[in-house]
Structure 1
Amino acid sequence: MNLGNESRPSTQLGSRLVGVLLAAGLSVFSAMTNAQDKAEPADKDQGCFIKGFSERLACGFIAVPENYERPDAKQISIHYAIIPSIQENAQPDPLLILAGGPGQAATELAPMIARIFADVRKQRDIVLIDQRGTGKSNPLSCDVNRPDELVRSDDEQALDEVAAECLAQYPDVDVAQYNTPNAIRDFERVREALNVEQWNLYGGSYGSRVGLKYLQQAPNAVRTATLDAVAPPQVVIGPFGFNGSLAFENMLQDCQQQQSCAQRFPNLKQDYEQVMQSLGQQSVLLDTQDPLSAEAIQIRLTPGRFSSVVRLALYNPATRQLLPYAISEARATNYKPILGLMGGTTTAVQNSIYLGLMLSVVCREDLPRATESLLQQDANNEFIGGKTGQAFVDLCQGWQTTPAPSAFAQPVESEKPVLLLSGTQDPVTPPRWADIAARTLPNSVHVVAPYAGHTIAGHTCANKIVAQFVRKGSVEALDTQCVKQRKLAPFVLNANGEGL
């Protein structure tokens, strides 16, 4: 999902890699912004158009040091765009979007952000800043195209070589500087340049980690913070096996509780296990079309690729409700439903993630804390085992950077008003993680949406709650009843959509 003004090199990384790159909220050690981090005035009148968004936006670039410890050395440009308030005389405290990934470019999400936060936009500007290493902020987009990538089996994909190949494309970049603390320092430069006294933060997934660290690193710059799909610094992100298995079991139970689904798919777990076993014995070469170019391609379906597609489909109720049918059909060797899910999930991910920035953050700030014991515990499941954790381990072996200081995993303490959002079906950042963050956020409220997935502002009424929270500037007396009225979406029973 590349929504930027200009296309960037495609990253055909294969589903095994893509399957571990979504919503990896990460932690970071922060330091207070020092006096030399002052920005020059920005040219706010520069206009631009973003693909998929018809309005002309105010855009600009701010020059910042690549290494803040060497302010007079190499400079990089940080790109921002402003979605203007619908009403004139907007409130002075905009909504700042902290993109997820890590590795998504905020400006490339402009059409979706404008839709989700239309109520906020009635009174406030929405500011999108491309985190360093993404979008037009010195992007680390790795062109690692491999013509045979999609037809190779998982055990032949040397992910450390993929990462090393990516790193070699940036010999003049100090990738250790592409981290969360420096991203916040960049955002502060933009805030000062735009003469904004305080932000209202919205951070989803990895953006929630940035939001927490923003509260710690520059608290006076924050009026409110909304953290959606919360990943507190105390947890290690990367090994997704355990949380993914819980979400998968939840889906199986929901199917059994719907009479029509239970009757149509009585042995769903066994069907999944049989597909995994069969593909392990003999992978399947499938003829299909590239979802972007429509060119004829072949995809080798392996256990890792199959489980990655299923895991990604758990993120959102709209794709989750297709899983029983897709799994059952795969058991009957009809892989068209799985191919459909693959085109709608993995393609979107690989075209929205800047791999170099993701690895710079993950390999510095989380993987050094992924002990062997933690990885073994995460792998103790019958869904995807330890595939995601091991994939990150392999990638980080090829991406040479320095570990973040150990203190960065400390809890974030803040008296600021904080709205925490979670979905009960989230396969990556479960509600209990937001509860962990809330322990040191006394002025917070945690809203859990039943039957909702990852980053709930995008597919529930939580966006209305966010607008209410930003308007009030307080968590007191928020009306959250709308999320409690959610019902379990019916599962699709056949190719004609029966069951909806």
Structure 2
Amino acid sequence: MLRTLGRVAALAAAVSLAAPAAAAPSALKPCRVDGIPNELLCGSLPRPLDPARPDGVKIDVHYLVVPALARNKQPDAVLILAGGPGQSAIGVAPRVLQRLSRLNNRRELVFIDQRGTGKSAPLECLDDSRPANTEQLDTAAQMRRLDACRATLEKLPYGRDGGLRFFTTTIAMQDMDAVREQLGVPQWNLVGGSYGTRAALEYLRQFPTRVRRTVIDGVAPPDMVLPASFSPDTQAALDKLITANTATYPQLRDDWQKLLASLPRAVTVAQPLTGEPVHINVDRELLLRAVRGPLYQPALAAALPAALHAAAAEGRFDGLFGLTNAFSSNKGMKLATGMHFSVVCAEDYPRLADATDAPGADFGRLDAELYTRVCKTWPRGDVPAAFYTLPPAPSPVLVLSGGADPVTPPRHGERVARALAQGHAERVQHVVVAESGHGVMAVACLRDVMFRFVDAKTDAAALPQDASCATRIPRPTAFQPVQRGATP
């Protein structure tokens, strides 16, 4: 507690002592962000909605700067690229700030709300700001909400006349570089997670000389075809979970198949936030979506075997949907749904028909069918062919993957690492944390690995890094409910 209070006081003082000297005097103003107790610095930059029409509709791209604590700060700031697509970088700042505290000692941290998210011309649907609930898993209702959302977004000043086409990753990274220029930062150190890795790779492709170091965690490369890869990757994570827990739950695979075979069925569960009974018609699609969320986080996935057994053997679904809500109710998980589909429909959907990923045995074409229905009517932007390429890395890149990740497992990170390392193997390192889920930067010792990588004075000293502290971490043991009357 004392260390935390001391850091808050020092950071508050640093706002007035270490403001970016190269930024225009009017570019940054003191501001506050929910979840961060001290005053920081905020700015915004007007950008053309359509880069080909610089005199046309403008949007404001908003960003947050966390000043370096030390007076002798380094000029290369750290740019955090949020996931999704659809997360607000400023919105996730309270969650990741402590993880980057060592980097923040001598480097500014910059969080830019990518166009379509947060305060930067947000493409949010009505449900985006509401607490997640079990009913939102219903596909038919979801489609109705998305149709209504698209119609509403197309009435916005930046959504009219096909404006939703200008929220691609390629255009957004041009915004990021414009912010770099406004702040006077000579080079970024990029830190991207999930979709933020795709953004980082695209920034690296367009502006290779403007990047000093890159950390990509949970790699979602541009050639991934998200709706196709979701199925086999989630299937592999579920199969791994079942296999890992057969000693504690020897009937788990049978429970899972029994549960699938019992659908559709009407169930009643307690709403996790209110305790009120909710009546749900559980079909196969809803069950598969309910299972996917907890797989992202091993701590939640450890309770899945007990929840699946309770549902299959006793017809009790409260545990399963409680886990789903625990995952999706996290504030940092909120997505700007309109921005999400503007990106995926432009960049992934056109390649869906030619995707080579074989569907998972249970998950099938669940996601491919959903995105096909949405993207048929969603405005789609133009994506340059070069977007799907991965040129050799011009500077050191640290690639991180979780072996139990249901959406961006190591197979994607390995492919990207090979492409980036062409001709310069010493510039790329791929670290796999075998029993971690989606995003491994939260693993405590990896924070030190990241710090040493970014802080290394030369490229030769940046890699390789010793990450054995993380790779030995075991899978959390399966949760076992306490039986009534059992001896403690």
User: Shift of residue 379 of structure 1?
Assistant: 2.9
Which residue of structure 1 lines up, in the alignment, with residue 350 of structure 2?
Answer: 368
Q: Any conservation in 1 of the 2:402–2:410 contact (CA below 8 Å)?
A: yes
The structural deviation recorded for 1:478 is 1.7
Unaligned runs of 5+ in 1: 1-38, 257-261
Off by >6 Å, runs of 4+ in structure 1: none
Cross-structure match for 1:251: 241
Deviation of residue 314 (structure 1)? Answer: 0.9
**SS of 2:33 mapped into structure 1:** coil
CA distance in 1, matches of 2:292, 2:269: 20
Structure 1 residues 361 and 151, CA gap change in structure 2 (3 angstroms): closer
- The letter of the residue matching 1:420 is V
SS at match of 2:96: helix
CA displacement 1:116-159 (0-9 Å, x = unmatched):
1122112211100000010010111111599xx95599463362
Residue matched to 1:102: 85
Alignment equivalent of 1:229, drawn from 177, 202, 218: 218
Residue equivalent to 2:311: 330
CA 194–399 in structure 1, closer or farther in 2 if over 3 Å, else same: same
* Percent of aligned pairs with the same amino acid: 32
Counting only pairs closer than 5 Å after superposition, residues 225-374 of structure 1 correspond to structure 2 as 225-239=214-228, 240-256=230-246, 262-263=247-248, 265-278=249-262, 280-289=263-272, 291=273, 294=274, 296=276, 298-300=278-280, 302=282, 303-331=284-312, 332-348=314-330, 352-371=334-353, 374=356
Contact between 1:286 and 1:301, CA under 8 Å: does it hold in 2?
Answer: no
d(CA) in 2 for partners of 1:247, 1:388 = 16
What is the letter of the counterpart of residue 81 of structure 1? L
Q: Name the structure 2 match of 1:411.
A: 390
Name the residue aligned to 2:3. none
Contact 1:86 1:121 in 2 (8 A): yes
The aligned counterpart of 1:36 is none
Going from structure 1 to structure 2, the CA distance change for 1:349 and 1:45 (only over 3 Å counts) comes to closer
SS at match of 2:52: coil
Residue 312 of structure 1, CA deviation: 1.2
Alpha-carbon distance change, 137 to 327 in structure 1, aligned in 2, over 3 angstroms: same
User: CA 1:153/1:242 → structure 2, altered by over 3 Å: closer, same or farther?
Assistant: closer
Contact 1:288 1:299 in 2 (8 A): no
C-alpha change, 1:329 and 1:158, in structure 2 (3 Å) is closer
- Is this contact kept in 2: 1:42–1:61, CA < 8 A? no
Question: Which residue identity is paired with 1:298?
Answer: V
Cα deviation, residue 99, structure 1: 0.4
Distance in 2, Cα, partners of 1:212 & 1:329: 43
Q: 1:153-199 deviations in whole A, cap 9, x for unaligned?
A: 9463362x433321211223201111101111111111111111011
Q: What is the match of residue 451 of structure 2?
A: 467
1:164 has 2:147 as partner: yes
Aligned CA distance change for structure 1 residues 144 and 479 (closer, same or farther; 3 Å): closer
Q: Could you say if the C-alpha distance between residues 441 and 379 of structure 1 is closer, same or farther in structure 2, counting changes exceeding 3 Å?
A: closer
- Deviation, 1:415, is 2.2
Match of 2:365 among 386, 390, 396: 386
Determine helix, strand or coil for the equivalent of 1:308: helix
Give the counterpart of 2:418 among 430, 434, 439.
439
| Aligned residue in 2 for 1:457 | 441
Residue 390 (structure 1) shift: 1.4
* Distance across 2 between alignment mates of 1:320 and 1:267: 17
Q: In 1, are the aligned partners of 2:170 and 2:383 still within 8 Å (CA)?
A: no
Please tell me the residue identity of whatever aligns with 1:337: G
Q: Paired residue for 2:67?
A: 84
Which protein is richer in helix relative to its size? Answer: 2
Q: Which amino acid aligns with 2:232?
A: F
- Alignment map for 1:2-41 (pairs within 5 Å): 41=24
Provide closer, same or farther for how the CA distance between residues 155 and 56 of structure 1 changes in structure 2, counting only shifts above 3 A: closer
Q: TM-score, normalised by structure 2?
A: 0.85
Are residues 466 and 299 of structure 1, via their aligned partners in 2, closer, same or farther at CA, if it must alter by over 3 Å? farther
Partner residue, 2:15: none
- Which residue does the alignment assign to 2:166? 177
CA contact (8 A) 2:235 2:360 kept: no
The number of residues matched between the two structures is: 445
- What is aligned with 1:203? 192
Which deviates the most, 364-373 or 351-360? 364-373
How far apart are the structure 1 equivalents of 2:402 and 2:289? 20
What amino acid maps onto 1:345 in structure 2?
Answer: F
Deviations 1:446-490 (A, max 9, x none): 111121111110235322211110001533242222112212221
1:117 aligns with 2:96: no
- Aligned equivalents of 2:87 and 2:139: distance in 1? 28
Q: Which has the higher contact order (CA 8 A, sep 6+)?
A: 1
* 405, 423, 432: which one aligns with 2:402: 423
